A and B are shown apart, each in its own frame.
Chain A
Amino acid sequence: MNKETCQSIFFKGVRDAAPFLLVVGPFSVLFGVVSTEAGLTITQTVSFSLAVIAGAAQFAALQLMVEDAPTIIALISGLAVNLRMAMYSAALTPHLGSAPLWHRALAAYFIVDQSYGLSSLRFEQHSEWALAQRLAYFWGTVAPICPFWAIFTYVGAVIGEGLPPWLALDFALPICFLAIIMPMLRTRAHIAAALVSVGSALVFAFLPYNLGLLVAGLLGMVTGAEIERRHTDPKEAR
């Protein structure tokens, strides 16, 4: 094993992840506010954040529940937004896959945008890190993010009950989602997927049970994947 101690690597992860609190903090407060405005209790709101730990999926499911969409549609949409977690899980497997099962089961619960993004970046840069060092870094990125996700949700839920209607909180969700979407549009394939999704969501809005959203998601996904396939080396794309 190389010289860096697990402790120093853990704190490297903490330092890398800490700035993301500036985004995660307000976002989780907002979820707490919007959720209690929608009629959920404080217990339900905090449980939501503890169970799912993924803002976009939580907001998506919540919005559909507010719209009185069928439960199954709220679930499918929330899970579809979280499908990227499966991709993160796949991407981390070569680095953390040799850890004991209990450790992998525990780490899996804490796979979020930030822990995945930072870990995959650093694991590539530090190919000399042993498994224990990689795990130390992963937990370092989790520490300043995940606990605060639940804590700030609680703060939002508590203050949410006293907010006046002129705040137009109905529009907090669209603005947040738009802000999250923009940095995701890294390639032409991503942009095309998003545009197809917008167009089809409006065209298929007449479908009952919010099925239009599922159609839009499916068409957007296929569009992105197809454009990527055409732009990659045919030897790699199978």
Chain B
Amino acid sequence: MDTTTIWIVILLLGLGSYAMRFVFIGIIGDRELPPWILRHLRYTAVAILPGLVAPLVVWPAATDGQPDPARLSATFVTILVGWFTKNILAAILSGAATLYLLLYMTG
């Protein structure tokens, strides 16, 4: 990563994010939006984030892309705790605890 690329990403991602925050409240005002646009907007985060995580879980770079029991177990625990508690912090902590425990045991 070179410095210019990093600054470009920071700047454009910042401007783009601001544009999306501003677009309706600032420009569209009180006009109604077509329901199909709102319907697609609702699913963007839930459609992008799982796809970003999946390859990192199945083929971790730290193990040269080999599936790894400690990381798979941590994934599983994080998902379970997150699903049942809906508590972000509890899910992160139990996932991290699982990861460290298994990394420690498998040396």
Contacts and interface: CB of A to CB of B under 8 A. Distances in A.
A31 to B, nearest CB: 13
Contacts of A172: 96
Interface string B52-76: 1111111111100000000100110
B49 A89 contact: no
A32 B14 CA distance: 17
Contacts of B105: none
A51 interface: yes
Contacts of B17: 51-54, 57, 78-79, 82, 85
Interface of B: 1, 3, 5-18, 20-26, 28-30, 33-36, 38-62, 71, 74-75, 78-79, 82-83, 86-89, 91-92, 95-96, 99-100, 103
Contacts of A52: 10, 13-14, 17
Nearest to B71: A171
Most chain A C-beta atoms within 10 Å of own C-beta, residue among B56, B60, B61: B56
A174 B49 contact: no
Interface string A177-211: 11111111100011001111110111001000000
For the side of the interface on A, what is the size category?
35 or more
A77 interface: yes
B50 A181 contact: yes
Contact of B46 (A60, A213, A224): A224
Contact of B52 (A68, A179, A201): A201
Contacts of A4: none
Nearest to B13: A78
Given A178-B53, A181-B82, A65 B5 contact: yes
Interface of A: 22-23, 26-27, 38-40, 44, 47-48, 50-54, 56-58, 60-61, 63, 65-68, 71, 74-75, 77-90, 92-94, 96-98, 101, 104-105, 107-109, 111, 166, 168, 170-185, 189-190, 193-198, 200-202, 205, 212-213, 216-225, 228-229, 236-238
Contact of B79 (A85, A109, A182, A201): A182
A93 B14 contact: no
Contacts of B56: 63, 171, 173-174
A65 B95 contact: no
B9 A61 contact: yes
B82 A183 contact: yes
27 contacts: A23-B88, A40-B6, A44-B7, A52-B10, A60-B52, A75-B9, A75-B12, A81-B48, A83-B41, A86-B20, A86-B24, A89-B20, A89-B21, A93-B24, A104-B25, A168-B62, A175-B78, A179-B89, A183-B82, A217-B44, A218-B47, A220-B50, A224-B46, A224-B47, A225-B36, A225-B42, A238-B35
